[in-house]
Amino acid sequence: MTDGWEVAGRRFTSRLIVGTGKYRDFEQNAAAVEASGAEIVTVAVRRVNISDPSQPLLTDHIDPKRYTYLPNTAGCFTADEAIRTLRLAREAGGWDLVKLEVLGEARTLYPDMRETLKATEILVKEGFLPMVYCVDDPIAAKQLEEAGAVAIMPLGAPIGSGLGIQNRVTIRLIVEGATVPVLVDAGVGTASDASVAMELGCDGVLMNTAIAEAKDPVRMARAMKLAVESGRLAYLAGRMGQRRYADPSSPLAGLI
Amino acid sequence: MIQDGTLSIRVNGEHRRVRAGMTVAELALELGLEPAKVAVERNLEIVPRSTLGHVMVEDGDEFEIVTFVGGG
- For the stretch A173-226, pLDDT in tens is 999 999 999 999 999 999 999 999 999 999 999 999 999 999 999 999 999 999
What is the rounded average pLDDT of the residues B13-32?
94
**Of A226, A225, A175, which Cα lies nearest the Cα of A203?**
A175
A137 exposed, middle or buried (CB, 10 Å; 0-12, 13-18, 19+)?
A: middle
Residue B1: what pLDDT? 52
Residue A152: what pLDDT? 98
Q: Residue B46 pLDDT > 90, yes or no? A: yes
Nearest CA in chain A to B63: A47
Q: Which residues of B fall within a CB distance of 8 Å from A21?
A: 70-72
Residue A4: what pLDDT? 93
CB A45 to CB B70 under 8 A?
Answer: no
Distance of residue A34 Cα from the nearest chain B Cα, in angstroms: 15
Q: How many angstroms separate the CA atoms of B42 and A20, rounded?
A: 28
Q: What is the pTM of this model?
A: 0.93
Distance of residue B17 Cα from the nearest chain A Cα, in angstroms: 14
Q: How many angstroms separate the CA atoms of A222 and A127, rounded?
A: 35
Which residues lie below 8 Å from residue A52, measured CB to CB, with a gap of 6+? none
Q: Which domains does chain B have, with CATH numbers?
A: 6-67 (3.10.20.30)
Residue A2: what pLDDT? 66
Residue B2: what pLDDT? 59
Nearest CA in chain B to A212: B72
> Tens place of pLDDT for every residue, chain A, 256 residues?
568 999 999 999 999 999 999 999 999 999 999 999 999 999 999 999 888 888 888 999 999 999 999 999 999 999 999 999 999 999 988 889 999 999 999 999 999 999 999 999 999 999 999 999 999 999 999 999 999 999 999 999 999 999 999 999 999 999 999 999 999 999 999 999 999 999 999 999 999 999 999 999 999 999 999 999 999 999 999 999 999 999 999 999 999 9
The answer to whether residues A242 and A53 touch, using CB atoms and an 8 Å cutoff, is no
Q: In a 3-state reduction of DSSP, which class is residue A252?
A: coil
**Range of weakest confidence among A119-128, A163-172, B29-38, B55-64:** B29-38
Share of chain B above pLDDT 90, in %: 85
